[in-house]
Amino acid sequence: MPNPLPAAATAPAVASATIAMLLADSRLPAGAHVSSNSLEAALRDGLAPSDVGDYLATRMRTVVPVEAGTAVLARRIRFGTVGVDELAALERLRAEWAARTPSRAQREVAEALGDGLRRLADVLWPGAVPPPSRRETPWPRPLVLGLVAVAAGLDGEDLVRLVAYDDAQTVAAALLKLEPGDPRTAASLVLAACALLEPRVAELAALEDPARIPCSGAPLTEGWAEAQSTLPRRLFRA
């Protein structure tokens, strides 16, 4: 196993745009490559590859605002504008996120990915992510991402865009593995999906109350997430 970076090499001062590109890179050693955002189960259930653009559009209206709102609020908590006790405020935020993420499988995967990102942050931005008060349950990825955004210097709007891009790119990358096709088409799907969320970026970045995180049901997406967790011989965990 390679040695961790020495303290002198951690958290170098670089532009926030560089940090955003780093966090959006699927090659980042944080475990995101194990997820297809339930696309594998969706395709097995009959979703046509030609309809993946519609699937992404649906996620931009349902799942992504929840994740982005959670990330924005975690960032705001670190700045001290929500609550007094940081851990208590983060636990409240976790509860609001969980209430909007009814699929057990989705929550478990988000927590696994959050733990992977936390371990990376422990090296790159030591102290950015506090251990959860319930040590057996890691923080979900959007919450960790919001805390990392503070340490990395990302503003709220770019954080929302990062969440949207990450969600869409996860699906597009999985599509190329599950149904190989023209990667240029997959790239165009990502841009189209991100464009759908752009009108809501300012609104989501301005959130101040966890109770105001958007809440739109996505029962089919949630069903596919549950099905993904039990697929035999699956390529992706989620």
A 10 A CB-CB count for 133 gives: 11
Domain boundaries, the chain: 56-228
Q: How high does pLDDT run on average in the chain?
A: 84
In angstroms, rounded to a whole number, what is the distance separating the alpha carbons of residues 67 and 102? 13
- Do 225 and 103 meet the contact criterion of CB atoms below 8 Å apart? yes
The 3-state DSSP class for residue 57 equals: helix
The DSSP line for 39-68 is HHHHHHTT--GGGHHHHHHHHHHTHHHHHH
pLDDT for residue 196: 96
What phi-psi label fits residue 80: left (phi over 0), alpha (psi between -120 and 50 degrees) or beta?
A: left
pLDDT value at position 6? 37
Residue 115 CA to residue 143 CA, distance in Å, equals: 11
pLDDT of residue 3: 40
Strand ranges, E, within the chain? none
pLDDT tens digits for range 177-196: 888 889 999 999 999 999 99
Coil vs helix vs strand at 154: coil
The DSSP H or E segment spanning 115 is helix 104-124
Question: Which parts of the chain have pLDDT scores under 70?
Answer: 1-13, 26, 28-33, 81-84, 133-136, 231, 234-238
Side chain identity at residue 115, one-letter code: D
